[in-house]
């Protein structure tokens, strides 16, 4: 924690003056955002890089006794990762006491008497975590926190006093500081050109781009880890508010309730909490004259990848404000407003009471909706402090009673597993997720099965058992339709998150209580990622294609190669077009991307020439030449469609052109049956494929030099492992992984994502085996 007078640039005299002025806060001594940023936040066409914002927060904390500045660590690109603590001066003086009170309310096993319980409920504060700007092109989120922080530091109205007295606000002004700078740089560089308002030609998070908000259970990225370790698990907030933006032509502002489905392990009190809070915010903002606010639309509450707090006794309030073109205003006439999932932007309804009339939409509007939303949320947290705390405690009590006795007794994880990286990663996720994992100190029997000493045991009578259960069980996604008998209603993200399948380990759910001598909870293991033949170099020369139409799958692949210490170089459009690839590479990997995106890339009418045009016809020829001369081309998922076209392979995608009624698998885990082959070394005969907008093939010419290395089971009932599928029989027995010989070389076609979001460790060997450059046998 940082003393608020350190590193502020203020003289010691000014710091002392700040102390002497304690008492009623004098707004004139507290810097406005404008005084540091150089403009009023929300001014058209004005964005700043992250260091300017950090400077503002440091100055604000130096001047206000209500605000503390913390640097929690460094981002991926080495910038400060920042949070502010904002509360009354009185609370600030007792901050650690308030935190300790909250930790007891979070874990009722630590409360020893009814009197203590009453005292904790009477003296606790509502802990609110507000996070912004995880998605860097949602630029209102860069600026709105300056307004929220300044307002709380300076305002003395009864409402603000109530917020300061009854809540502790943890404010993360950006969950992705690197992206603030990437987008502000790009925007300022392209102002006044055809590219003004466009997205940058790179991922705005160095590795994972927009998927940084899909990392809240895998915890792969440093920004996720800092937020979990230093804020969520350190404070256990009752309320988490995440500030986002959506498209231009729908509602102006989304707030919960979410759409169905709700992940079934989420406590009903959390569901009631986000329903109440979102509806309250909509009510208050409508009273302020804001229009176009929708509840219960577009966004569901299924995946823990976006909602850590739903499995940690906290309520998540997502807000999504309509976008402009980065900081450039737009005109959105009423006729161009479009219906969304659960409402029509032109029609008043019970969850969309007052449509927006259309017109000019600016960054100032965005910042106004976002900051007003955050302040309304804080008011609810303050005025309903006692209910927030009582229900928070109740959620913990229910959890330690095994969800009121409805849950299995424990989850058992054998220590002796083939996939060691998978096992240590699962254990690391559990421990970082605040789950108590113990080890058996002697053999024991559970549900009639004998387990040796050393077995891992996760009891489901603990505060965050919900997190363990949700991630270690199979998902049975409900069959939701747009109307009875109609097409499926797609999930907002994906439908499966079963870690044992993704990471290739066995676990057992035990229903009946059992006796076992158990250790204290284990410390978080630090997985070691090595793969024989490729880690540490010495293998083939690997090129990884990186499009300017930035692909998150490329970023994830790059991340995995670095984590597993596999040398590679990035290959750009100009490198591919130049040709002579075989002199430089043995293997070229093209991550998941559309064939059109690979060939044509970004539009030359919008983007500067250096970023436009994709690999083009020359690039396609160069890749053909590379393979014919003995190179290995590896393609993931949709990039495999590009490979089939480019090499004119005699295979047919059996799901091409089917509508969602005929076949549907929107992010689903399928059983994958493997054939003995160089590509399947270190793999069990049966594994898992992450299927998402994927092809599934039939080889149409049996004399062609194509080997089916992996396929879906012949029995349709065995295809689905976790999540949701309609008509699995269409892909039963079809190919999922092919090796095609072309000239001296080969193409390895994955019909799925073997490295999905760095989670599918089970199938990493299939990818790594392809990097040895050795053709199959
Ligand atoms: Zn977003």
On the question of pLDDT at 588 being above 60, the answer is yes
- How far apart are the CA of 755 and the centre of ligand 1, in A? 23
Per-residue pLDDT of 662-674, as tens digits, reads: 999 999 999 999 9
Helix and strand numbers, DSSP H then E, in the chain: 25, 32
- How far apart are the CA of 242 and the centre of ligand 1, in A? 9
Per-residue pLDDT of 596-636, as tens digits, reads: 999 999 999 999 999 999 999 999 999 999 999 999 999 99
- How far apart are the CA of 173 and the centre of ligand 1, in A? 14
- How far apart are the CA of 756 and the centre of ligand 1, in A? 20
Q: Which residue has the higher pLDDT, 573 or 776?
A: 573
644, 653, 635, 641: which is closest to 734 by C-alpha? 653
On the question of pLDDT at 174 being above 60, the answer is yes
- How far apart are the CA of 660 and the centre of ligand 1, in A? 26
Q: Is there a cis peptide before residue 237, judged by omega within 30 degrees of 0?
A: no
Residue 386, token pair as written in the block: 């006692």
pLDDT band at 538 (very low <50, low <70, confident <90, very high): confident
- How far apart are the CA of 134 and the centre of ligand 1, in A? 7
- How far apart are the CA of 130 and the centre of ligand 1, in A? 14
Q: According to the model, what pLDDT value does residue 774 have?
A: 64
- Sign, CA torsion 711/716/721/722: positive
- How far apart are the CA of 139 and the centre of ligand 1, in A? 10
262, 258, 294: which is closest to 275 by C-alpha? 258
Per-residue pLDDT of 290-315, as tens digits, reads: 999 999 999 999 999 999 999 999 99
10, 63, 9: which is closest to 33 by C-alpha? 63
- How far apart are the CA of 85 and the centre of ligand 1, in A? 24
Hey, which residues does 672 pair with through a beta bridge? 687
Record the pTM.
0.95
- How far apart are the CA of 121 and the centre of ligand 1, in A? 35
- How far apart are the CA of 310 and the centre of ligand 1, in A? 18
Q: HEC profile for 709-767? A: EEECCCCHHHCEEEECCECHHHCCCCEEEEEEEECCEEEEEECCCCCHHHCCHHHHHHH
- How far apart are the CA of 470 and the centre of ligand 1, in A? 24
On the question of pLDDT at 6 being above 50, the answer is no
Question: How many whole angstroms separate alpha carbon 589 and alpha carbon 632?
Answer: 8
DSSP state of 232: I
- How far apart are the CA of 133 and the centre of ligand 1, in A? 8
Q: Which helix (H) or strand (E) holds 149?
A: helix 140-154
- How far apart are the CA of 206 and the centre of ligand 1, in A? 16
- How far apart are the CA of 185 and the centre of ligand 1, in A? 19
- How far apart are the CA of 180 and the centre of ligand 1, in A? 13
- How far apart are the CA of 433 and the centre of ligand 1, in A? 23
Residue 10's CB: how many other CB atoms inside 10 A? 17
- How far apart are the CA of 213 and the centre of ligand 1, in A? 8
Q: How far out from the chain centre does Cα 155 lie? A: 34
- How far apart are the CA of 299 and the centre of ligand 1, in A? 11
- How far apart are the CA of 243 and the centre of ligand 1, in A? 8
Q: Which residue has the higher pLDDT, 27 or 651?
A: 651
Residue 428's CB: how many other CB atoms inside 10 A? 18
- How far apart are the CA of 65 and the centre of ligand 1, in A? 32
- The CA-atom distances, in angstroms, between 492 and each of 299, 305, 503, 661, 755 are 6, 12, 23, 18, 21
- How far apart are the CA of 301 and the centre of ligand 1, in A? 15
Question: How many whole angstroms separate alpha carbon 301 and alpha carbon 272?
Answer: 13
- How far apart are the CA of 245 and the centre of ligand 1, in A? 5
- How far apart are the CA of 61 and the centre of ligand 1, in A? 28
Task: Kindly give, in sequence order, each residue whose CB lies less than 8 Å from that of residue 282, ignoring residues fewer than 6 positions away.
Answer: 253, 255, 293, 295, 353
- How far apart are the CA of 143 and the centre of ligand 1, in A? 15
- How far apart are the CA of 614 and the centre of ligand 1, in A? 26
On the question of pLDDT at 18 being above 90, the answer is no
Q: According to the model, what pLDDT value does residue 11 have?
A: 38
Q: According to the model, what pLDDT value does residue 375 have?
A: 98
On the question of pLDDT at 14 being above 50, the answer is no
- How far apart are the CA of 244 and the centre of ligand 1, in A? 4
Residue 401, token pair as written in the block: 């009673």
- The CA-atom distances, in angstroms, between 598 and each of 205, 553, 573, 738 are 21, 13, 9, 20
- How far apart are the CA of 629 and the centre of ligand 1, in A? 44
- How far apart are the CA of 132 and the centre of ligand 1, in A? 9
Mean of pLDDT over the chain:
95
Question: How many whole angstroms separate alpha carbon 121 and alpha carbon 390?
Answer: 7
- How far apart are the CA of 211 and the centre of ligand 1, in A? 10
150, 39, 132, 47: which is closest to 82 by C-alpha? 132
- How far apart are the CA of 607 and the centre of ligand 1, in A? 23
Question: How many whole angstroms separate alpha carbon 386 and alpha carbon 389?
Answer: 5
- How far apart are the CA of 235 and the centre of ligand 1, in A? 24
- How far apart are the CA of 179 and the centre of ligand 1, in A? 12
- How far apart are the CA of 306 and the centre of ligand 1, in A? 11
**What residue ranges in 79-202 does DSSP mark as E strands?**
80-86, 126-132, 167-172
- The CA-atom distances, in angstroms, between 496 and each of 139, 579, 760 are 30, 41, 12
Q: Which residue has the higher pLDDT, 7 or 232?
A: 232
Task: Kindly give, in sequence order, each residue whose CB lies less than 8 Å from that of residue 243, ignoring residues fewer than 6 positions away.
Answer: 130, 131, 132, 133, 138, 140, 141, 144, 145, 319, 321, 370, 373, 374
Mean pLDDT of 715-742: 98
How many percent of the chain have pLDDT more than 70? Answer: 96
- How far apart are the CA of 343 and the centre of ligand 1, in A? 20
- How far apart are the CA of 203 and the centre of ligand 1, in A? 14
- How far apart are the CA of 695 and the centre of ligand 1, in A? 28
What SS3 class is residue 132? strand
- How far apart are the CA of 87 and the centre of ligand 1, in A? 27
Q: What φ, ψ does residue 209 adopt, rounded to 5°? A: 50, -135
- How far apart are the CA of 610 and the centre of ligand 1, in A? 28
The full DSSP string for 399-420 is HHTHHHHTS-SEEEE-S--S-H
Pairing of strands 706-711, 735-742: antiparallel
Q: What φ, ψ does residue 81 adopt, rounded to 5°? A: -100, 120
- How far apart are the CA of 768 and the centre of ligand 1, in A? 32
647, 646, 642, 552: which is closest to 595 by C-alpha? 642
Question: How many whole angstroms separate alpha carbon 246 and alpha carbon 273?
Answer: 23
Furthest CA-CA distance within the chain: 88
766, 753, 764: which is closest to 694 by C-alpha? 753
- How far apart are the CA of 636 and the centre of ligand 1, in A? 25
Mean pLDDT of 416-436: 98
- How far apart are the CA of 376 and the centre of ligand 1, in A? 20
- How far apart are the CA of 702 and the centre of ligand 1, in A? 47
Q: Under a CB-based contact definition with an 8 Å cutoff, are residues 76 and 176 in contact?
A: no
Q: According to the model, what pLDDT value does residue 344 have?
A: 97
Q: According to the model, what pLDDT value does residue 405 have?
A: 84
- How far apart are the CA of 223 and the centre of ligand 1, in A? 16
Q: According to the model, what pLDDT value does residue 28 have?
A: 65
Q: Under a CB-based contact definition with an 8 Å cutoff, are residues 730 and 654 in contact?
A: yes
- How far apart are the CA of 308 and the centre of ligand 1, in A? 16
Lowest-confidence region among 343-357, 450-464, 492-506, 525-539: 525-539
Contacts 24+ apart (CB under 8 A), 195-199: 195/606, 195/607, 195/608, 196/325, 196/326, 196/328, 197/324, 197/325, 197/326, 197/327, 197/328, 198/325, 198/326, 198/606, 198/607, 199/137, 199/550
- How far apart are the CA of 135 and the centre of ligand 1, in A? 5
Mean pLDDT of 356-375: 98
Q: How far out from the chain centre does Cα 286 lie? A: 30
Q: According to the model, what pLDDT value does residue 7 have?
A: 38
- How far apart are the CA of 612 and the centre of ligand 1, in A? 25
- How far apart are the CA of 493 and the centre of ligand 1, in A? 12
Question: How many whole angstroms separate alpha carbon 572 and alpha carbon 570?
Answer: 7
Q: According to the model, what pLDDT value does residue 775 have?
A: 60
Q: Under a CB-based contact definition with an 8 Å cutoff, are residues 712 and 670 in contact?
A: yes
Question: How many whole angstroms separate alpha carbon 329 and alpha carbon 340?
Answer: 22
Question: How many whole angstroms separate alpha carbon 192 and alpha carbon 188?
Answer: 9
- How far apart are the CA of 110 and the centre of ligand 1, in A? 37
725, 641, 732, 632: which is closest to 679 by C-alpha? 632
Q: According to the model, what pLDDT value does residue 19 have?
A: 39
- How far apart are the CA of 341 and the centre of ligand 1, in A? 17
- How far apart are the CA of 395 and the centre of ligand 1, in A? 28
Mean pLDDT of 708-735: 98
Q: According to the model, what pLDDT value does residue 539 have?
A: 79
On the question of pLDDT at 25 being above 80, the answer is no
Query: Which residues are in the CB-under-5-Å shell of ion ligand 1?
Result: 135, 244
pLDDT band at 2 (very low <50, low <70, confident <90, very high): very low
On the question of pLDDT at 27 being above 70, the answer is no
Q: According to the model, what pLDDT value does residue 475 have?
A: 98
Question: How many whole angstroms separate alpha carbon 40 and alpha carbon 32?
Answer: 9
Question: How many whole angstroms separate alpha carbon 632 and alpha carbon 750?
Answer: 13
On the question of pLDDT at 593 being above 60, the answer is yes
Q: According to the model, what pLDDT value does residue 20 have?
A: 39
Q: According to the model, what pLDDT value does residue 311 have?
A: 98
Task: Kindly give, in sequence order, each residue whose CB lies less than 8 Å from that of residue 128, ignoring residues fewer than 6 positions away.
Answer: 167, 168, 169, 170, 237, 238, 239, 240, 241, 377, 378, 381
- How far apart are the CA of 212 and the centre of ligand 1, in A? 10
- How far apart are the CA of 246 and the centre of ligand 1, in A? 7
- How far apart are the CA of 321 and the centre of ligand 1, in A? 9
């Amino acid at each position: 924690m940082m003393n608020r007078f350190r590193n502020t640039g203020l003289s010691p005299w000014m710091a002392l003056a700040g102390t002497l002025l304690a008492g009623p806060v004098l707004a004139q001594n507290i810097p406005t955002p404008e005084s540091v940023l150089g403009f009023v936040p929300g001014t058209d066409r004005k964005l700043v890089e992250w260091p300017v914002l950090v400077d503002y927060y440091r100055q604000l904390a130096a001047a206000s006794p209500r605000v503390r500045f913390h640097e929690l660590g460094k981002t991926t690109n080495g910038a400060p990762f920042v949070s502010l603590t904002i509360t009354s001066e009185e609370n600030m003086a007792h901050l650690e006491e308030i935190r300790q009170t909250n930790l007891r309310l979070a874990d009722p096993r630590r409360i020893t008497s009814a009197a203590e319980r009453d005292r904790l409920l009477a003296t606790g504060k509502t802990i609110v975590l507000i996070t912004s700007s995880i998605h860097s092109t949602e630029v209102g989120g860069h600026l709105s926190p300056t307004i929220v922080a300044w307002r709380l530091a300076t305002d003395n109205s009864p409402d603000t006093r109530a917020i300061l007295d009854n809540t502790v606000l943890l404010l993360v002004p950006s969950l992705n500081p690197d992206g603030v700078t990437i987008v502000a740089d790009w925007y300022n560089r392209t102002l006044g050109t055809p590219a003004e308002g466009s997205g940058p030609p790179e991922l705005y998070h160095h590795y994972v781009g927009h998927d940084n908000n899909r990392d809240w259970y895998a915890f792969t990225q440093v920004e996720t880890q800092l937020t979990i370790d230093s804020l969520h698990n350190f404070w256990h907030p009752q309320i988490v508010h995440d500030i986002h933006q959506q498209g231009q032509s729908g509602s102006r502002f989304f707030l919960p309730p979410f759409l169905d489905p709700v992940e079934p392990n989420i406590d009903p009190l959390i569901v009631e909490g986000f329903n109440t809070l979102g509806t309250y915010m909509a009510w208050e903002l409508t009273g302020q004259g804001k229009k176009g606010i929708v509840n219960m639309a577009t966004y569901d509450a299924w995946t823990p990848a976006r909602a850590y707090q739903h499995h940690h006794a906290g309520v998540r309030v997502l807000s999504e404000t309509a976008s402009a073109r980065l900081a450039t205003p737009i005109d959105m006439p009423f006729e161009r407003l479009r219906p969304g999932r659960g409402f029509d932007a032109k029609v008043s309804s019970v969850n969309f009471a007052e449509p927006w009339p259309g017109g000019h939409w600016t960054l100032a509007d965005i910042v106004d909706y976002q900051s007003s939303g955050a302040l309304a949320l804080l008011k609810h947290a303050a005025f309903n402090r006692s209910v927030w705390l009582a229900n928070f405690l109740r959620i913990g009590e229910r959890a330690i009673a095994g969800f009121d006795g409805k849950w299995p007794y424990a989850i058992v994880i054998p220590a002796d597993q083939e996939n060691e990286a998978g096992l240590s990663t699962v254990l690391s996720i559990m421990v970082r997720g605040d789950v108590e994992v113990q080890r058996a100190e002697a053999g024991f029997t559970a549900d009639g099965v004998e387990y040796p000493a050393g077995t891992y045991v996760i009891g489901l009578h603990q505060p965050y058992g919900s997190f363990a259960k949700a991630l270690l069980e199979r998902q049975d996604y409900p069959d939701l339709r747009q109307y009875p008998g109609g097409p499926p209603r797609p999930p907002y993200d994906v439908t499966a998150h079963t870690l044992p399948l993704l990471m290739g380990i066995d676990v057992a759910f035990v229903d009946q209580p059992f006796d076992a001598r158990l250790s204290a909870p284990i410390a978080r293991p630090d997985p070691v990622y090595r793969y024989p033949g490729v880690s540490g170099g010495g293998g083939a020369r690997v090129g990884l294609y990186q499009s300017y139409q930035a692909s998150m799958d490329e970023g994830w692949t790059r991340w995995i190669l670095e984590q597993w210490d596999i040398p590679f170089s990035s290959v750009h459009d100009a490198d591919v077009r130049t040709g002579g690839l075989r002199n430089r590479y043995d293997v070229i990997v093209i991550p998941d991307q559309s064939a059109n995106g690979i060939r044509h890339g970004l539009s030359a009418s919008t983007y500067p020439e250096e970023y436009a045009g994709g690999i083009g016809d020359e690039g396609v020829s160069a890749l053909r030449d590379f393979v014919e001369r003995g190179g290995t081309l590896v393609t993931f998922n949709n990039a495999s469609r590009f490979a089939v076209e480019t090499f004119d392979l005699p295979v047919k995608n059996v799901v091409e052109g089917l509508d969602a009624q005929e076949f549907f698998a929107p992010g689903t885990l399928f059983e994958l049956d493997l054939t003995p082959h160089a590509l399947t070394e270190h793999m069990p005969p049966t594994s898992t494929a992450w299927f998402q907008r994927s092809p599934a093939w039939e080889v149409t010419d049996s004399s062609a030099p194509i080997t089916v290395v992996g396929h879906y089971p012949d029995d349709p009932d065995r295809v689905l492992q976790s999540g949701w599928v309609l008509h699995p029989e269409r892909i039963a027995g079809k190919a999922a992984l092919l090796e095609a010989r072309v000239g001296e070389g080969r193409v390895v076609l994955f019909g799925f994502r073997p490295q999905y979001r760095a989670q599918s460790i089970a199938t990493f060997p299939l990818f790594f085996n392809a990097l040895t450059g050795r053709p199959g046998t």
